[in-house]
Amino acid sequence: MKFINKSQPMQVRQSDGPGRFKWKLLKKGETINLSKEVGLRYGLKKMKTTEGQIGQTKVETKQLESPNFQKELESINGIGKKTAKDITKVFPTEEKLKEAIKNKEQLAFRDDVEIKLREKYE
C-alpha cells in the first residue's frame, strides 16, 4: 500500500530480503510502499489510488487527500489551490481563521483574497 509522510522526517524500517532489513529516511512529502499495518503504525497517511487504462497501458493515479477546510477555501470564487494551501499554512483550521477575522486582524494575503475571506467567514 502506498503511504505519504505529511509530518517531520522519520526513519522507516523496510524489509531487505529474508530476515534482513534496512532503514530509509522518509522526508516530508515523500511516498513509500509499506503494508497497511506498518504504515498506520508509523502514522503515515494512505494515498488514494485509482486504476485505469490508456490504450493498452494500465495506469494508476495517486490522489493526495486535502483537508476539508482547504477544499472549502478552493470553492470560493477567485481562490485556487495554491492560495488555499497558503491560507491553510497560516490558519490550519477554519476556527483559527474565524478568530483572526473576529479580532479584526490584518490577514497576510492579497486584498481581494482578504475581502473574500472576510465576506465568507464574518
Query: For residue 13, what are the domain limits?
Result: 2-63
| Under 8 Å between Cβ of 39 and 56 | no
Do 90 and 75 lie in one domain? The reply is: yes
Cα–Cα distance, 8 to 84 (Å, whole number)? 22
Number of folded domains that form the chain? 2
Give yes or no: residues 6 and 54 share one domain.
Answer: yes
Query: Of 22, 42, 63, which closes a domain?
Result: 63
pLDDT tens by residue, 35-94:
888 888 888 888 766 666 666 776 665 554 445 888 889 899 989 989 988 888 888 888
Q: What phi, psi does 2 have (nearest 5°)?
A: -90, 130
Residue 63, pLDDT score? 52
Q: Per residue in 7-38, pLDDT tens?
A: 889 999 888 888 898 898 988 888 888 888 88
Shared domain for 51 and 26, answered yes or no, is yes
Burial (CB count within 10 angstroms: exposed 0-12, middle 13-18, buried 19+), residue 64: exposed
